[in-house]
């Protein structure tokens, strides 16, 4: 969630500062991002039933992290928008798959897990925005989004190694 919170915090400014887009264009990009996120959420159920929440979480984090690392170097505006939406789709997949995976860890404690998961996500979002500010100031947008890319990939590796698929 740290990377996701940071991405949500800094992408509007990124579009304005790096590509010089108008506020209206940024709004349209963000509306498209919202639709992409919803699409990712909607596709997840079908794929999670077929492949499992753990595998889907790991794939979504790895693809999102790699796409984010490539995205920051794109200089063609519309290519950057489309790849950005792909990242958002995988972000939606990641969110739903990880929430499902969290509930599968200890089925008898689902209520407690949901509460802890919500608290951890909120804390992660705040930390991601704060740490992102440091990276933005010290390394610019390239350093910021590369750091988030690394965190996405590390998140995928952590889930791959530590999470159980359905208890």
Domains of the chain: 2-162 (1.20.1250.20)
Q: What is the per-residue pLDDT across 93-151, written as a single tens digit (0 to 9) for each?
A: 998 998 888 888 887 888 888 888 888 888 888 888 888 899 999 999 999 999 999 98
Specify the DSSP element, H or E, that contains 138.
helix 110-162
What's the pTM value of the predicted model, to 2 decimals? 0.87
CA–CA–CA angle 159, 164, 167 (5° rounding): 150
Alpha-carbon distance of 154 to 3, in angstroms, equals: 11
């Amino acid at each position: 969630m740290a990377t996701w919170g940071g991405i949500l915090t800094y992408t509007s400014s990124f579009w304005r500062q790096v590509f010089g887009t108008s506020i209206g264009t940024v709004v349209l990009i963000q509306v498209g991002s919202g639709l992409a996120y919803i699409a990712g959420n909607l596709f997840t159920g079908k794929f999670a039933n077929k492949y499992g929440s753990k595998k889907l979480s790991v794939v979504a984090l790895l693809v999102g992290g790699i796409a984010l690392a490539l995205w920051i170097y794109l200089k063609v505006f519309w290519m950057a928008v489309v790849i950005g939406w792909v990242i958002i789709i995988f972000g939606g997949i990641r969110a739903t798959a990880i929430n499902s995976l969290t509930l599968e860890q200890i089925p008898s404690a689902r209520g407690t897990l949901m509460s802890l998961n919500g608290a951890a996500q909120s804390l992660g979002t705040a930390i991601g925005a704060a740490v992102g500010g440091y990276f933005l100031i010290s390394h610019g947008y390239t350093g910021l989004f590369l750091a988030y890319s690394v965190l996405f990939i590390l998140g995928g590796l952590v889930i791959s190694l530590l999470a159980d698929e359905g208890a």
